[in-house]
């Protein structure tokens, strides 16, 4: 395993769950970029990060990814974890494979994508409801908004899958057998 691990992909595909498992099992510091991105969005509007922008969802992910990737690289280059045996496990939605390849050093940071592209938007909505708990932001959203978001999640998942194949980066489909996929992923990491 490398010094740092990025767990990327779409919302509600298991990114935070698997990141927390990595932190607990291997001693990595878990960092949720969703919180950091929300902080940038509210505190520094001049950065131009708007997760709720009224634009095509793919365009918005591309825009945010281009801004977040150099920031992630700076976090890794900070030297904060140089003296430690562990590093960071970062879960992030808006990081495209192209920006990972452009900004990250794979000898120091590996990436794994978690997606849900092998389902319809309606099936994705059913999965959302299956895994939704009061700890999840989607739990409190209106049903119609969640349905609309699920259609976008399937669209972005398909885009991530295409990009991962193009840039030869690993991805894991969690629309079916989510617990099994996450468990096998953790076993694979342990054996590296």
Structural domain spans, the chain: 4-187
The verdict on pTM exceeding 0.75 is: yes
Helix (H, G, I), strand (E, B) or coil at 113: strand
- Architecture field, domain 4-187: 3-Layer(aba) Sandwich (3.40)
Residue 58 has what pLDDT? 93
Structure tokens that stand for 144 in this block: 């119609």
- Contact assessment for residue 109 and residue 6, using Cβ atoms and an 8 Å cutoff: yes
Which ranges of the chain would DSSP assign to H, the alpha helix? 15-26, 33-43, 57-77, 97-103, 121-131, 143-167, 178-191
pLDDT digits (tens), the chain, 192 positions? 789 999 999 988 999 999 999 999 999 999 999 889 999 999 999 989 988 888 899 999 999 999 999 999 999 999 888 887 789 999 999 999 999 999 999 999 999 999 999 999 999 998 888 878 888 878 889 999 999 999 999 999 999 999 999 999 999 999 989 999 999 999 998 877
């Amino acid at each position: 395993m490398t010094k740092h691990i990025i767990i990327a992909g779409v919302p509600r595909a298991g990114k935070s769950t698997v990141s927390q498992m990595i932190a607990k099992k291997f001693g990595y510091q878990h960092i949720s970029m969703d919180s950091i991105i929300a902080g940038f969005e509210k505190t520094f509007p001049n950065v131009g990060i708007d997760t709720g922008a009224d634009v095509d969802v793919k365009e918005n992910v591309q825009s945010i990814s281009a801004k977040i990737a150099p920031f992630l690289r700076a976090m890794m280059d900070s030297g904060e974890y140089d003296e430690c045996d562990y590093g960071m496990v970062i879960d992030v939605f808006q990081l495209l494979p192209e920006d990972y390849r452009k900004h990250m050093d794979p000898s120091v940071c590996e990436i794994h994508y978690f997606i849900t592209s092998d389902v319809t938007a309606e099936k994705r909505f059913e999965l959302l409801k299956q895994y939704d708990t009061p700890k999840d932001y989607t739990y409190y959203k209106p049903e119609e908004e969640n349905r609309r978001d699920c259609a976008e999640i399937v669209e972005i998942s398909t885009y991530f899958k295409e990009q991962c194949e193009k840039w030869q980066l690993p991805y894991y489909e969690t629309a079916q057998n989510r617990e099994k996929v996450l468990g096998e992923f953790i076993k694979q990491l342990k054996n590296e």
